[in-house]
Amino acid sequence: MKKINLVLGIHNHQPVGNFDFVFEHAYKVAYKPFIEILAKHPKIKLAQHYTGVLFDWILKNHPEFLNDLKVLVDNGQIELITGGFYEPILAIIPDQDKLDQIKKLSDFIVENFGRKPVGMWLAERVWEQHIVKFIAMAGVKYVIIDDTHFRYAGLTGEQLLGYYITEEQGYTVNIFPISKMLRYTIPFQPVEKTIDYLREIATENGDRVVVYADDGEKFGVWPNTYKHVYEDGWLEEFFTALEENSDWINILHFSEVIEKIKPTGRIYLPNASYAEMMHWALPADAYLDYEKLEEHLKEEGMYEQYSRFFRGGFWRNFLVKYPEANNLHKKMLRVSDRARKLQSKGKDVNIALNKIWSAQCNDPYWHGIFGGLYLTNLRSTAYRNLISAENELDKVEGKKLIRYELTDFDKDGKEELIIESPNFNIYIDPNYGGQIFEFDFKPVEFNIADVMTRRKEGYHEKLLRLANEKNNPNNQGVASIHDMLLAKEEGLEKFLHYDWYKRGSLIDHFLGEGTTLENFYQCKYPEQGDFVDQPYVVNVNFKRNLLEVILSRDGNVWIDNQRKKIRVEKKITINKNSSDLFIEYKLENLEDEMLDLWFGVEFAYNFLAPDSSDRYFYFIGYELEDKRLKSMGIVDDVVSFGIVDEWLGLDMNFYLSKFANVWRFPLESISLSEAGFERVYQGSVMLLNWNIKLSKEWNVQIHKSFRLLKK
């Protein structure tokens, strides 16, 4: 009789910073019912991976579930596997953090289940060969990754029906390929399709091994899967079919495979993740070219034969594609390095390290067909954990300091200015308009400058096609079906606006005639200056408890097609003992004639909840019809305005030395999630602007204060 060895694995995860109701929903429709059905089938064995994030939530909200799991662990049905506690992309975090993250989850499993895990789930299956050393050092014997990685190494067919051993600097780890075929049949296709495939690959000597391992959320959380998997009985039928065919389908744990079957061979895999991830990592235009080539190969019947030579990008390119992800990553590295240096001096930094590890959770560092980086709650939580870690390290140092550093923070070969004080972290890019790209108010552990630039995504083409279909009277029926499946609201294509510069604060504009709030919001306005994204000269001065930063640029403004020279100088003053910030602008005319200018200073801030009544704009002397953070409008002749966030307990106020016109509008991205296209609030832009007749000099002071409110 032909036989096959089958290994099953389920990975369960929720991101750090996800909403509690999301955890609860996933628990009720996926995690709990899966285990309840598994318990009814004692002959079914599988590996289960729960991230530490999820274990923490379960321990707090449903501790009884851990008891149910332990019963299945004790009877041998479940083999728990480890990984990074907070599900980091292992390759991109510091080496000691790699070891500590794995140890933290392994220790949790030992403490709560009495078993030492020997296998590991690799977050998003992002593989780089150097991680082998650290996985082995953490006591892990095997890792589970996609067969895609093995295909890229040149393997195919029956070569993927086993497991391999790999090595780095003498350290070895076993690696199992996950069958792409089974990932697509389980649980989406009829049960018999999976059984037929297993029968097809079974052999007389029965030494082949095939692996299924995938996300537990596909068993109840994904759209329509709860009904399919549980109400319609797919999972019950699947487990029953495996039991009925147990004379030739031999279900093993990963650890049992290693004990009973020798590895197929030695292998070294290329840097890779699953195929979809590598597609998503490409820039928007390359993303579209990839799709076209993939479709062409399929039409020509060549895809199956040559797909192993067809690859997308590299995971780390998300840090290029999205500067916001890169900034978060580099801040994480900076804070981790600071903590380790203090640890090397004998300081206790464990509280800070746990917050840093939490901020290493992978989800806000990339974006595919799920929200990821575009979800402001995930980014904000990562920043909150890092700022909280910095506050802990400040306590460990026992000093209230104001300090600055000119350093290549984002690793692009140019220096950024990092300012740290008891109240603020302010990150400035002198080489890009002298703009502020991170502004942490440390008393509430919040980065108020955590905004996203609106940019083209490869999948936006699909949204535009849907809109065209809908507007075609011959396609009304088809378009409405697609609309229902792929768009969360009507007319999303009208919000596809792309920024030609990176959003931030202290961005200096010289607006051309014809600029309106609408075309400025769309980023299709006439810009007359060359200050927005160009280099500034930076100088820093200490005056007792004061730190002064002076950013200046001799640039140009085009008026009536003639270039006019202007100097812009902006001075930022920070007092170590104050939560106020003073900004002074000075414009200097370098021509011999008076110049008519329309000057604006842009600020962009994100307080997360655009519709909430506890977060709002206010303008002294004016009553706004709509004061929500998502509101759009103009208020003229303003001397004082601000934003209140009652949830944070913060009032951020601007007081101006000269009356200004203030424009405001929301930054909203159109991104893809598992439920379809959606509009996501990424922050609010405020443009302070003045009409100036500049003879020699003009200046304005902006006093920015932060007041903590009683909650």
Please state, in angstroms and as integers, the Cα–Cα distance from residue 282 to each residue in 37, 179, 314, 502, 635, following that order.
40, 24, 8, 19, 41
Question: Is the distance from CB of 360 to CB of 93 less than 8 angstroms?
Answer: yes
Residue 530 among the catalytic residues: no
The single residue listed with the structure tokens 């759009």 is 632
Dihedral angle of Cα 450, 380, 368, 21, to the nearest 10 degrees:
-150
The first and second tokens of residue 44, run together, are 């079914």
Neighbouring residues of 354: CB distance < 8 A, sequence distance ≥ 6: none
Q: To the nearest 10°, the Cα dihedral for 44, 76, 55, 214?
A: -30
Burial of 231 (0-12, 13-18, 19+ CB in 10 A): exposed
State the Cα–Cα distance between residues 47 and 34, nearest whole angstrom. Answer: 13
178 within 8 A of 213, measured Cβ to Cβ: yes
Which residue among the candidates 124, 392, 445, 508 is catalytic per the annotation?
A: 124
**Helix H segments across 250-375?**
254-260, 275-280, 284-299, 303-306, 318-321, 323-344, 350-359
Q: Which of 635, 597, 587, 603 is nearest to 512 (CA)?
A: 597
Residue 668 a catalytic site member:
no
Residue (of 90, 547, 94) closest to 335 by Cα position: 94
Reported residue count of the chain is 711
Contact 493, 706 (CB under 8 A): no
DSSP state of 536: -
The per-residue b/e assignment along 160-197, b for 16 or more CB within 10 angstroms, e otherwise, is: bbbbbbbebeeeebbbbbbbbbbbebbbeeebeebbeb
Using CA atoms, how far apart are residues 676 and 184, in angstroms rounded to an integer? 20
Peptide bond connecting 15 to the previous residue in cis, omega within 30 degrees of 0: no
**Helices 234-244 and 191-201 sit at what angle, rounded to 10 degrees?**
30
How far is it, in rounded angstroms, from Cα 213 to Cα 9?
A: 4
Catalytic residue (choose from 215, 236, 237, 461): 215
Tell me the catalytic residues: 124, 215
